[in-house]
Structure 1
Amino acid sequence: MSTSESIRRTLESVPSKFRGPGGAVAVVKDGELAGQHVWGYANLDARISITPTTIFPICSISKQMVCLVLTDLLQNDKDKAFEDALHKALHELLPQDLIANKDLTVERMVAMQSGLRDYWALTVLWGATPGGRFSIYQDAPKALKRLGGFHFAPGTEMSYCNSNFLVLGLAIEKATGQTLGDLLQSHLFGPAKMKTAALRPDTERLPAPLVGYEGSDENGYVAYQNRIEWAGDAGIQASLEDMVAYEKYIDRSSSRAHSAYQKNSQEPHYLDGSVANYGFGLARIEADGVTVVGHGGALAGFRLHRWYAADKRVSVVALLNSDMDSAEVASYVLRNVAGLPAKEQPKDSPNETKVEWTGYYLDEEANLAISVLHGEPGELLIYYAGDEDKVKITDSTKASSKGMTVSFEDGKLSINRLQEGRKFTASPLAPSESPSDSNDAVCTGSYRSEDIDSTFHCTGSGDMLYGAFDGYLGQGPAHLMKHIGKDVWWLACQRSLDAPAPGNWTVVFHRGEDGKTMEGATIGCWLARNVKYVKKD
């Protein structure tokens, strides 16, 4: 079978393997379009099909494109005028106690090593209502002034944070006196021949006929209307034809000395010199000895992904108007096209090992709860950073995956999250008596965080508590809370302004010296940790 025929068959098999409303995939090989396939509907109700020119919101894939503009501006900044203006703009946009930290640099921001909290996660604590409006030029500057302190020291680890690219996008506009959309057009879309790509911040105004859908085969698909604005972090929209042109441009640029992409795709590092895997809007992973660089994007009703294997000169783009895992689609195509080994299949005799240390733990430095449960035979499910991570049990005290190692010793967990450069220990949350039978009921009341300008209301009784937040974005909905240990609760948040939602927030209540009254609480999720609240009543 010829290479072109193999690519065609692979692409045409995608709709059956990854069922949903519709999508578009393409392969660029050796700098040329090797194949593309579109299927399904841009609008199910109107029965309008997806085409190669249908425009999608590419969401966080935008970050690498903004970084190309940023690097291009810096490389052509002979008299340092742009760099000086950029730093001045950052000083105007961020709180002074944050920007004064010498390790908070542009390089740390684009590497997700800034230590800033993610503003989309914090919108929950600022009282946002799911489906509500969020304005780039009205709400975003207020968000940047309410980030609070760092949740880790800049340059020491990595945590995904849209605040980095929000502030950089606004700062670039201030420094140049031009809109980010115009800069993208002149520095990238024009040179790359991306004919219909544009920065369109308002997600409520998608170019017709595209509609985003939530749901599944089992439960059906429902159209979802987003109402948020974003720019530097996720605001670009592009068609499959635009993305093919982009991949051709990247292939040309990757080997050209001193090009913006050549610089941006270099291996990033932490402050101590150790290797990181994210920089300039590009994530790096190793797939069977092949380095793949790319990024995904997500918004309620949409999932997008692109990978580029520079050594093999192969790019894959996947654009979906549903919540299906686009990374799985892109990986499936890449493995087949680039000749990588198929995913390892379960052995005929699965590992039946079980461990005795399942349960709840607390990362006391980050104040984040951890759940450890058995999954499939020989597997653990670990919830910590907003999603369940699957790790394989290697013996009675250890488990691991490509992204994480876990060990149990002296009654504590030791976890190394390889992709984020974070190592920590976690103590078990000893089961306490039911809140309805103890004085845990004194958790109820109102709590205030001056750092981020947020009020937390805890209501209910016994095992059924609720948490709600007020802030500059309004009065948010009540969220259900689950008791997981003495003075530690999970607050479930599966829907927020953005997608994906933060998931479970950890609420750690703090008692006074009498051991009975509550004096405060620390609330956080992976994207926004250690927010301190003081009890008001």
Structure 2
Amino acid sequence: MTATTDCQRLLAQDVPTAFRVPGGAAAILKDGELIAKHAWGYANIDTREPVTPDTIFPICSISKQMVCLVLTELIAEKGQDFADAVLNAVREILPASVASHEDLTLERLVGMRSGLRDYWILTVLWGARPQDRFSIYQDAPEALKRLGGFHFAPGTQFSYSNTNFVAVSLAIERVTGKTMNDLLQEQLFKPVGMKTAALRADMARLPSPIVGYEGSEETGYVPYLNKIEWAGDAGVSASLEDMIAYEKYVHRQSQVENSSYYKNAVDPKYIDGEPANYGYGLVHSEIEGQKTVSHSGGLAGFRLRRTYMPAQRLSHIVLLNSETDTKLVTDYTMKKLIAMPSIAQLQISDHKPENTKIEINWTGNYFDEEAKLAVVVKQDKPGEITANYDGHDDKLQVLNENEATSEEMNIRFENDSLSVNRPREHRKFTARRLAETEVSADTISFVGTYYSEEIDSTFHVTGSGAMLYGAFDGFLGKGPVHVMRRLGEDVWWLACFRSLDAPTPGYWSVAFESGDGGSGVTVGCMGARNIKYRRVG
């Protein structure tokens, strides 16, 4: 069989069978040429309108690299004065508490190394409800005024923050006097041949017939209406045909040393010179030991991903109108592709790491005092644990009685504490074990009202015993009630698995001050850490 036949069967049969979704579209390119594409299922399961290669999807955060290409093109055309003007405009948009920091640069903004909290995550603390309206030109400026300070020093760590890109895109518009859609059309979409791509900010008005779905095959699929507006952080929508044209462009430009894509794809670095894995809207990672440059996109009801493997000159695109993890789809597809002699001519080992079958004795709840975030370790089967630090579960392989590892984190248990390395975030820290606390009447002392002057948010805690609830008010309204769970001592989790953006915060860590309920509480998650509230009632 030819490579085209093998790849077409992979997309038309293997992928839809392995990942059962309402609808999707995918393509494979080699050496900048299309070798397979396939669209399957339905854009709208109620009207039975199928997904086609021309169906327009919101590509969400894949937009970020496209905005960065526009930025780099404009800097090349207009010079350093333009770059300085954009950074000055960013500083005018951001609150004074962060705007003047000398280490806040454009490169760190578009490399997720700015230290700015994520504004979409913070909408929860400002009282937004999951399907509320959010306006980019009315609500976003108010949000950017309320970010508070940095949650780490610029350039020192990685933290995914849409704030970086909404600030940069609004600044570019301010300096050029043009909309980001016009700039994208002029600098990228039209020259590249992306005929239907556009920055369509309003997610409530996606081009027919596409509909995004919550749920699963087991629970049923339910349409989800998003009513948020996005700027350069995630506003582009495009068809599979558009994305094929984009991948052809990526392949061409990756071979040209002075091209904007080539410049943007150079390996990024932290302020100390250590390598980072994110720059200019591009994620640098590996599949089967092969370097990839990629980015995913997510919105309630949608998951998307594009991946380019430079050494193999291999591209993969997948667009889904459901919440299936596209990393799993891409890993599955790319592993099969690079194992095909006609595609990569690599000998890929099918050896899987031996499952040690070890059961650990250090499951439990821990606390990172620096970031004020909980680490919850569980084990459901020998040889594997789950560790929840960024609000969502991460599966780790157990290496021995005291160590476990995954792509995201490495953990070593010693002295009743966890030594944690998070390479992607350039963070190493120790998390102490939380003492187990019996449920008693003392939890009533946590009940009350708290206010954060830093981000202008009010936190209401109600309930009794082990059943506390939390709700937030802010400039976006009065948010829904969230269930809280005590982890130990005065540290709680607050569950938040639906919000304006996707993925959601998951679990917020809530750390009350000790002693008679204390006079304050610190609330945080990975994208918005160390937010301090004082008791006001």
TM-score by length of 2: 0.97
1:446 counterpart = 2:449: yes
Shift of 1:400: 1.2
For 1:309 and 1:528, how far apart are their aligned partners in 2?
A: 32
Code of the residue aligned with 2:23 in structure 1: it is: G
Could you say which residue in structure 1 is the equivalent of 2:153? 153
1:516 counterpart residue number: 516
Distance 2:242 2:48 in 1: 24
Query: Aligned partners of 1:178 and 1:274: how far apart in 2?
Result: 37
1:269 aligns to what? 269
SS in 1 for 2:135: coil
Query: Which residue identity does 2:510 align to in structure 1?
Result: V
CA drift at 1:28: 1.2
The Cα offsets for residues 205-227 of structure 1, whole Å up to 9 and x where unpaired, read as 01001111111111111111000
Q: 3-state DSSP class of the match of 2:424?
A: coil
Query: Per-residue displacement from partner, 1:60-79 (whole Å, max 9, x unpaired)?
Result: 0000000000111112223x
C-alpha distance 200-126 of structure 1, shift in aligned 2 (>3 A): same
Is residue 2:264 matched to residue 1:300? Answer: no
Over the residues paired in the alignment, what is the CA RMSD in angstroms?
1.3
1:64 maps to: 65
CA change 1:481–1:342 in 2 (3 A) is farther
What residue is the counterpart of 2:180 in the other structure? 180
Task: Pick the aligned partner of 1:381 from 372, 383, 386.
Answer: 386
Report what 1:28 is aligned to: 29
User: Structure 1 pair 293/48, CA: closer, same or farther in 2 (3 Å)?
Assistant: same
Residue-by-residue CA offset, 1:82-118 (whole Å, 9 max, x unaligned):
2232122112100122011111111111110001100
Q: Distance in 1 between matches of 2:531 and 2:230?
A: 24
Q: Give the equivalent residue in structure 1 for 2:342.
A: none
Deviation at 1:343, TM superposition (A): 8.7
Report Cα offsets for 1:469-488 as digits up to 9, x if no partner. 00000000110100111111
For 1:119, give the aligned amino acid.
Y
1:234-261 deviations in Å (ceiling 9; x for gaps):
0000000000000000000001121000
Letter in 2 for 1:450: E
Pairing of 1:70-469 with structure 2 (within 5 A): 70-78=71-79, 80-339=80-339, 350-434=355-439, 437-469=440-472
Rounded Cα–Cα distance in structure 1 between residues aligned with 2:391 and 2:507? 7
Preserved contact between residue 293 and residue 308 of structure 2 (Cα < 8 Å): yes
Report the number of matched residues. Answer: 530
The answer as to whether partners of 2:97 and 2:148 remain within 8 angstroms in 1 is no
Q: d(CA) in 1 for partners of 2:349 and 2:304?
A: 21
| Other structure's SS at 2:187 match | helix
What is residue 536 of structure 1 aligned with on the other side? 536
Contact 1:82–1:176 (Cα < 8 Å) also in 2: no
Cα deviation 1:24-72 (Å, max 9, x = unaligned): 0001111111110010001111010111100000000000000000111
2:501 to 458, 475, 498: 498
In the TM superposition, residue 158 of structure 1 has moved relative to its aligned partner by 0.3
Report the 3-state secondary structure (helix = DSSP H, G, I; strand = E; otherwise coil) of the residue aligned with 2:205: coil
Question: Runs of 4+ in structure 1 displaced over 6 angstroms?
Answer: 340-343
Using the TM superposition, give the Cα deviation of residue 342 of structure 1 relative to its aligned residue in structure 2, in angstroms: 6.8
TM-fit CA distance, 1:409: 1.2
Q: Deviations over 1:100-138 (max 9, x none)?
A: 111111111111000110001100000001100000000
> Which amino acid in the other structure matches residue 386 of structure 1?
G
Aligned partners of 1:335 and 1:341 also within 8 Å? no
In 2, the alpha carbon distance for the partners of 1:185 and 1:235 equals 13
The aligned amino acid for 1:36 is K
Code of the aligned partner of 1:62: S
Structure 1: where are the runs of 5+ without partners?
none
Counterpart code for 1:378 = G
What's the CA shift for 1:403?
A: 2.8
Task: Give yes or no for the alignment of 1:470 onto 2:473.
Answer: yes
What letter is aligned with 1:316?
H
User: 2:121 and 2:43 mapped to 1: Cα distance?
Assistant: 29
Deviation of 1:334 after TM superposition, in Å, equals 1.7
The answer to whether the Cα contact below 8 Å between 1:368 and 1:524 also exists between their aligned partners in 2 is: yes
Q: Aligned partners of 1:438 and 1:431: how far apart in 2?
A: 15
* Letter matched to residue 520 of structure 1: G
Shift of 1:440: 2.5
* Secondary structure, counterpart of 1:191 in structure 2: helix
> In structure 2, what is the equivalent of residue 51 of structure 1?
52
Structure 1: distance between partners of 2:415 and 2:60: 44
Q: Mark the CA change 1:344 to 1:440 in structure 2 (over 3 Å): closer, same or farther.
A: farther
Structure 2 gaps of 5+ residues are 340-345
Give 2:35's aligned amino acid: A
Cα distance change on mapping 1:345 and 1:338 into 2, 3 Å: closer
Give the drift of 1:346.
5.8
